[in-house]
Amino acid sequence: MLDIIISIFLILGAGFALVGSIGLARLPDFYTRLHGPTKATTLGLGGLLIASMLYFSSRGDVSLHELLVTMFLFMTAPVSAHLLAKAALHLRVRAEVDLPKNDD
């Protein structure tokens, strides 16, 4: 039973990671491409880490150090996305719609 739950989390997590990367490869401009990796891929990794947590907990001791990686990634992914968007706006990277006016 636990095997089935772990397998579902594994496939879901890897699927989300793949969807994020397809978004990165396929979407038309940088600002839309920013959505795929920062949301879907991070969520997919969260699923994989839950699966790994369940797997190693089922083999004896409760295993929680995956939680560290999850927390760290969930804290840093928005920060790096924000910095990337700021850098792209600063460099005036090409977009499908008009960029907002620079007011600095």
Partner 1 sequence: MLATAVLIAMVLVILALVLNIWRVVIGPDTTDRILALDTLYINSIALLVLLGIHMTSAAYFEAALLIAMIGFIGTTALCKYLLRGDIIE
Cβ at position 59, least distance to partner 1 in Å? 7
Q: For binding to partner 1 (CB under 8 A), which residues are involved?
A: 3-4, 6-7, 10-11, 13-15, 17-18, 20-22, 24-25, 30, 33-34, 36-37, 41-42, 44-45, 48-49, 51-52, 55-56, 59, 63, 65-66, 68-69, 72-73, 76-77, 79-80, 83-84, 86-88, 90-91, 93-94
The whole-angstrom separation of Cα 53 and Cα 55 is 6
Measure CA 88 to chain center: 19
- Which residue number, 83 or 99, has a Cβ lying nearer to partner 1? 83
DSSP 3-state assignment of 28? coil
The whole-angstrom separation of Cα 51 and Cα 45 is 10
Length of the chain measured in residues: 104
